Amino acid sequence: MTKQEIANDIARILEGFYEEVPIPLDHTDNYSLLVAVLLSAQCTDVRVNTVTPHLFALADNPYDMAKQNVEDIRQIIRPCGLSPRKSKAIKELSNILINQHNGEVPANYEDLEALPGVGHKTASVVMSQGFGEPAFPVDTHIHRLAQRWKLSTGKNVEKTEKDLKRLFPRETWNKLHLQIIFFGREYCPARGHNPYECPICSKYGRKTLFDEFDKAKKKREQK
């Protein structure tokens, strides 16, 4: 099969498992989405969703957030990790939104990526989930799955994003990247993964996946 045929079948499989995909991070508007995505760096969505209600009870808009002390923000978001950097970024980007964007989250990559703590992946999520603009946010998890499924040979998330955008129709990107995330969590985890039982890896997984699994299994049996 060609890579395009594999991609088409993987899209079909994912649609069968996840016809509906909710947005993982709880939010009420684009500002709360932006802050939640920023907090999700190196943190699980579940944990972010337990922290943001407390943070947004303190301040749920850039005007109120800009008035807060960085230390107060940090104390609330500490469970998300990297709290010194993230708390400073939240306060600073709130000030920038007020001073440069009339308190609104900008709807373009250039302005989003100019905000403290906001990289391309975070901007892509906001563009996709906040503004409905077709985007394919690629984090380390999607990068790993694209490698496993032979959809990309990219050495970094930037190259993988380009490869995936070429393989899948633009109108499917917003839903598809969420489908891949949900599938990865449930059926194709980073650790303890059995490629023989995975609905996608069992069909399209790289040979090295099976070799590594067989080697680890044999080692366990020899103990």
d(CA 148, CA 130): 29
d(CA 17, CA 76): 36
**97 closest CA partner among 143, 66, 72, 127:** 66
d(CA 46, CA 76): 15
Query: What's the Cα-to-Cα distance from 45 to each of 25, 125, 126, 222, rounded to whole Å?
Result: 6, 13, 15, 38
Question: What one-character DSSP code corresponds to residue 85?
Answer: H
d(CA 112, CA 123): 6
| Catalytic center residues | 121, 139
**180 closest CA partner among 206, 205, 200:** 200
